[in-house]
Structure 1
Amino acid sequence: MKKPLGFTLLKLMTFLAIFTLIITIVLAAFQNHSIRAEFSELVIAAIPYKEAVERVIRTRNPSALSDLDGGSLGIPANVTVGETVHGVVVADGVITMTWQHDSTILHGMTYTLTLDDAEPPIQWSRGGSCVGKHLC
Structure 2
Amino acid sequence: MCTICFLLHNRFSPCLLKLLGTNSTITCVYPDVYKSHTKFFCKKNHYTCENILSTKGKFTLTGSSRNKMTITVREITINDSGTYWCGAESTDNQTSNVFFGRLFLTVGLSMKAATLRCTVNNKRSSMTGSLKTYLNGSFNCSFPKHQR
Higher strand share: 2
Q: Name the TM-score, length of structure 1 as normaliser.
A: 0.23
Per chain length, whose mean CA-contact separation is higher, i.e. which structure has more relative contact order (CA < 8 Å, sep 6+)? 2
Higher helix share: 1
Which one has a bigger Cα radius of gyration? 1
